[in-house]
Amino acid sequence: MRKVITYGTFDLLHTGHINILRRAKEYGDYLIVAISSDEFNALKGKKAYYSFEQRKLILEAIRYVDEVIPEDTWEQKVQDVKDHDVDVFVMGDDWKGKFDFLEESCEVIYLPRTVGISTTKIKRDLTKVNKG
């Protein structure tokens, strides 16, 4: 079995999220999604709309996702790859080059982002609508 892993916050689920999950799953038989814990988001200065448990529940309902695990630190990726026998690490190309160090343990693939959509854009658009 070929295992794939990807990481993210996956808040305010949108077509860009679905696209990356679908494309990541195409690289293997089993997709693991590591989502930022609420505590890790706080360390990064981010606040998700949905809690970790809510985001986990949403992701587990998506047909491309086989397993959801917490991401608690930047450094855990090497251990996750080992612990879960991961063959392929997938991230959006906005992270290109940042995880090349994982090539010692697995294949690293950066996928193009979906143009015109992001959680940041959704939050910005909602703010404009609600203030206008």
46 is annotated as an active-site residue? yes
Which listed residue (25, 46, 77, 82) is catalytic?
Answer: 46
56 is annotated as an active-site residue? no
How far is residue 92's CA from residue 6's CA, in Å, rounded to a whole number?
Answer: 9
Helix (H, G, I), strand (E, B) or coil at 47: coil
Number of residues written out for the chain: 132
Which listed residue (3, 25, 44, 56) is catalytic?
Answer: 44
Contact 9, 48 (CB under 8 A): yes
β-strands 30-36, 3-8: how paired?
parallel
Catalytic residues: 44, 46
